[in-house]
Amino acid sequence: MSEFQLIGLVGRHADVRVAPTLLALCDIVHHLGCRVAIEPDACGLEQVPQTVHRLTRVQMAALCQLVIVVGGDGTLLSVARDVTPGAIPILGINQGRLGFMVDVLPQEMAQVLTAVLAGDYVREDRLLLEARVHRGGHSTPTALAINDVVVRNQAAIRMLEFETWLGDEFISHHRADGFIVASPTGSTAYALSGGGPVVHPALEAMTLVPICPHTLSDRPIVVGAQQTVRIVLRGPSDTLATCTCDGQNSQNLNSGEVLEVRRSDYRLQLIHPNNYSYFSILRDKLHWGSGPVKLL
């Protein structure tokens, strides 16, 4: 008997490419002897069997043993924030544009699922970030980030001025368009475009990346995730920045307020096929050079 008895299926079901894949997954999972759950508002899936459960993402986090996400990395990021508190592993079916985390192709999903439900898979555990803003003696609710926490100026024509701290140690004063605190998973996202390094997802680290800094020597640095990163917004009293988690969850940051980013107690759990290779993903998605040359 598989350890995954109830499997949640999530995707942008209004997408004409995604709905057929979700329907096919329903059949595959049923054929393999497991129960299936989809979201209550899943349109285009009216023809699924009555035996399919209708669960919200929060309910899936409480009741399912596995969630399968159909789409791109953005869809997985959205789903992960809802199900990660339940320590539910996620398997990604790639129907997006890039797909660093959704690494199973639709034409492979029947074969991969057969292996996964038989216990033949790789489980990966990744660091997550959490952010909150301290203002007026109070703190905002903690927001979870899988990729990154980004501070950007709401006034596009003006630079931000801010200080960065690691624990109680002052790092620097910055003038830049913004600042990125990235997890290892997020090192191949916005932080990479900002000149940051690729950080292996097994590392417990955060990457700090100034966005278009005024001082050219203000470079990205990688720090251990054991301490808290603090960003103190400076400048005129009317300075207003936006703090965004994974580009999907935003709150304001005013002059004098402090953004605190730390390693979350939650972890992202991903399920991969047994032949999964992180470096193979990098070679494919970043168009690195060819494979190793065979020696004579």
User: All domains of the chain, ordered by start, with CATH?
Assistant: 6-121+273-285 (3.40.50.10330), 128-265 (2.60.200.30)
Q: What are phi and psi of 192, to 5 degrees?
A: -65, -40
Say whether 27 is catalytic: no
Q: What is the pLDDT of residue 290?
A: 65
CA gap 128, 291 in Å, rounded: 31
Of the candidates 292, 287, 57, 90, the residue with the CA atom closest to the CA atom of residue 185? 90
Q: What is the pLDDT of residue 81?
A: 92
Give the position of tokens 């720090």: 223
Q: What is the pLDDT of residue 191?
A: 98
Contact 217, 172 (CB under 8 A): no
Catalytic choice (27, 41, 73, 120)? 73
Q: What is the pLDDT of residue 80?
A: 95
- Alpha carbon of residue 75 to chain centroid: 9
CA gap 4, 91 in Å, rounded: 12
Q: What is the pLDDT along the chain (296 residues), one digit of tens a residue?
A: 789 999 999 998 778 888 889 989 999 999 999 999 999 887 666 677 778 999 999 999 999 999 999 999 999 999 999 999 899 999 999 997 778 999 999 999 999 999 999 999 999 999 999 999 999 889 999 999 999 999 999 877 789 999 999 999 999 999 999 999 999 999 999 999 999 999 999 999 999 999 999 998 999 999 999 999 999 999 888 888 999 999 988 999 999 999 999 999 999 999 999 999 999 999 999 989 866 766 66
Burial label, 284 (beta-carbon count in 10 A; 0-12, 13-18, 19+):
middle
Angle in degrees, CA 32, 98, 282, rounded to 5: 95
Of the candidates 200, 204, 190, 194, the residue with the CA atom closest to the CA atom of residue 281? 200
Angle in degrees, CA 265, 267, 270, rounded to 5: 175
